[in-house]
Amino acid sequence: ESRAERILQTDGLTKRFGAFTAVDDVDLSIERGEFRSIIGPNGAGKTTLFNLLSGALPVSEGSIRFDGTDITDLSPQKRVHQGLGRSFQILNIFEELTVRENVRLAAQSVHRDDYGFFESLFKPTDRHEPINARTDDVLERIDLASVDEEEAAALDYGGKRRLEIGMVLATDPKVVLFDEPTAGMSIEETEATIDLIEDVLADQTLLLIEHDIELVMDLSDRITVLNQGEVIASGPPDAIAADQAVQDAYLGG
C-alpha cells in the first residue's frame, strides 16, 4: 500500500484554561479522503479541539498543519479560505434569501476576487462564471436545484440541513469539520442527516466530532477517542469498540 497523503496534522496540540488542561498533547494525522471521527465522553475536550482546529480558540502549545502549511496562527476566515470547511453551529443559512443566493454567497465568500455583496447577487457577469458553475453544481449535489428560487425559510427541516451542507461544499473545502451534526435531533432526523453525509460528502475528507459512539461506528474509517483531554485510542472502528480503555472511559464518564 502506498503512503497516503496527510492533509491535516496536529503536533503536541495543547489548550489550557488557567491551570486546567482541556486538550493535552494531541497528535492527529488525517489522510486525504478519510472519514475520521473524534469521540469521547462529556468534558473530554472535543469541542475545545474543534475550536483549535477551526481557529476559534488560540492554542496554548503545539501546532496545526493543513495541506502543507502551518495554520496554527491563522484566523478562522483564512482557514476557510485555505479549504478547512466548517459545518453546523457556525455557518447559518439566511432564511430570507433564496436557496440559490445562500449557496452563491458561500461560494463567493472564498472566491479570490472580492466582489461586493450586492454586485455578486444582482449583477452577475461572466467574471462570476466560476461561482455560478460551482453554485449550480452544489445545488444538484444537495438535491435542491428544483427549488433554487424559493426562500430558504420555506424549506423543511431536511432541506435546511442539506442547504447548510451545500454552503460548506460551496466553499470547495479540502477537509470538512463537523461539530456534532445531529445534536438535538430526533432519531428520524439523525438518520436522515447521516444518510446525507454519506451520500453528498462521500468523496470528501471529513473530521466529525461526536459524543455518540454508536453513531460513528459504521461511518468512520478511523476513530480517535479523547478522554480528559488526551487521546486514549485511535484506530479502525472494530479495534475501538473492543478497546478496554475506551469502554472504561465511557462507563466512567
Residues in touch with ligand ADP (CB under 6 A): 17, 20, 22, 40, 42-48
Nearer to ligand ADP, 17 or 157 (CB): 17
| Smallest gap from residue 245 Cβ to ligand ADP (A) | 16
Smaller CB separation from ligand ADP, 51 or 135: 51
Q: Helices 157-170 and 99-109, interaxial angle, to 10°? A: 30
Q: Are the C-beta atoms of 193 and 206 separated by less than 8 Å?
A: no
Least Cβ distance, residue 176 to ligand ADP (angstroms): 18
Cell of 120: 455578486
Q: Which three cell numbers stand for residue 192?
A: 436522515
Grid coordinates standing for 214?
A: 454508536
Inter-residue contact 134 to 106 (CB < 8 Å): no
Instruction: State the sign of the Cα–Cα–Cα–Cα dihedral 198, 180, 229, 50.
Output: positive
| Nearest alpha-carbon partner for 201 in 174, 233, 229, 179 | 174
Q: Least distance to ligand ADP from the beta carbon of 39, Å?
A: 9
Nearest to 167 by CA among 226, 230, 86: 86
Given the complex with ligand ADP, which of 2 and 42 has the nearer CB atom? 42
Minimal distance, residue 57 CB to ligand ADP, in Å: 8
What's the first-to-final CA gap in the chain, in angstroms? 38
CB nearer to ligand ADP: pick between 43 and 235: 43
Least distance to ligand ADP, CB of residue 231, Å:
13
Our CB check for ligand ADP shows the closer of 44 and 216 to be: 44
- Taking the least distance from each CB to ligand ADP, the nearer of 183 and 242 is 183
CA angle 207, 209, 210 (to 5 degrees): 135
Minimum distance between the CB of residue 198 and ligand ADP, rounded to whole angstroms? 24
